[in-house]
Amino acid sequence: MLKYLFFYFFIKPIILIGLGLNIRNYQHFPKQGPAIIVANHNSHLDTLVLMTLAPGKLLGKMRPVAAMDYFCRNRFFSWLSQNFLGIVPIKRKRTKEGEDLLQPCYEALEKKQILILYPEGTRGKPEEMAEFKSGIARLVENYSHVPVHPVYMHGLGKTLPKGSCLPVPFFCDVFVGEKIMWNGEKQIFLNSIRKSIDNLKKQGNFPIWK
C-alpha cells in the first residue's frame, strides 16, 4: 500500500508532468512476471521512470536490483528503499565462500516478479554507456525461460546526473525493445543485450551530448 500511495500521489505526477516523458514502443514493456528489464543507467531517476511505466496491476511486482551497501546503509534508509521502492538488495562482494550474490534475484523471479537491472552496475556519465557486467547473463542462464526487455533512456542524465541533488526539468525519451531470450552462451547473450540497447539509442537520432 505504501508503494502504491508513494507512486500514484507523488512520483507519477512529477515524472509524467515535470519531465515531459516520451515513450516509444510501449507494447514491448513486460505485461507479466517473471521478467527482467535491463536499461542504461545515468540517474537516480531511471528507476522511478521505469516503475512509472508499469501498469497499476504490475507496480507491486516491480523490483529494482540495488547495491545493499548503498540502499541499506542505515535502518531508516533501508526501510524506505524496501517499502517504497521494493528494492532487491544484493551484496557487491561475497562474505562467505560459495555464496551466490544473485540469490535474492532468484527468489524474486520465483515469485514471478519483474526485476529492474542495470548491466553497467552503476550510474555513468550522461548518455555514455560503460561496459556491461556479466551478472545479467549469469542470472538468465539459471532462468532461461524468463524474458529480458531492453530499454534505452535519454535525458535523465541531464535532469539529475550523478553527483547532483536538484533535478532540472528536461524531456526524457524512453525506448522499449523487443524481448530477448537466453541463447545458451553468456558473452553472446550479453552482446545481444548491448546491441539491442545501442539500436534503441539510434532510433532517437539524438545529437551528441554536450
73-109: per-residue pLDDT in tens?
Answer: 667 777 777 777 788 988 777 777 778 889 999 999 9
pLDDT in tens, 180-197: 999 989 999 999 999 999
Q: And the C-alpha cell for 25? A: 514502443
CB 83 within 8 A of CB 50: no
CB 112 within 8 A of CB 61: yes
Q: Is the pLDDT of residue 150 over 90?
A: yes
| CA nearest neighbour of 15 among 51, 40, 39 | 51
Domain residue ranges of the chain, discontinuous segments joined by + = 2-204
Rounded alpha-carbon distances, angstroms, from residue 122 to 75, 89, 162? 22, 14, 10
Mean pLDDT rounded to a whole number for the chain: 85
Residue 117, H or E segment: strand 114-117
Q: Is 83 helix (H, G, I), strand (E, B) or coil?
A: helix
Alpha helices by DSSP H, the chain? 2-6, 12-13, 45-53, 56-59, 68-71, 75-80, 103-110, 135-142, 156-159, 186-204
Q: Is the pLDDT of residue 116 over 60?
A: yes
What is the per-residue pLDDT for 166?
59
pLDDT in tens, 31-79: 999 999 999 988 878 999 999 999 888 998 999 998 776 655 667 777 7
Q: Of all residues in the chain, what percent are helix, strand and coil, respectively (each to 5)?
A: 40, 20, 40
Most confident of 83-87, 125-129, 150-154: 150-154
What is the per-residue pLDDT for 72?
57
Confidence of residue 160 (pLDDT cuts 50, 70, 90): low
State the Cα–Cα distance between residues 158 and 194, nearest whole angstrom.
22
Averaged over 1-8, what is the pLDDT?
79
What is the per-residue pLDDT for 164?
60
With a CB cutoff of 8 Å and minimum separation 6, the contacts of 52 are 7, 11, 12, 15, 16, 21
pTM: 0.89
Q: What percent of the chain clears pLDDT 70, i.e. is strictly above it?
A: 86
Confidence of residue 179 (pLDDT cuts 50, 70, 90): very high
What is the per-residue pLDDT for 115?
98
Q: Is the pLDDT of residue 30 over 80?
A: yes
**CATH class belonging to 2-204:** alpha beta
| Long-range pairs, 127-131, Cβ under 8 A, ≥24 | 127/42, 127/154, 127/157, 127/206, 127/209, 128/209, 129/40, 129/194, 129/197, 129/198
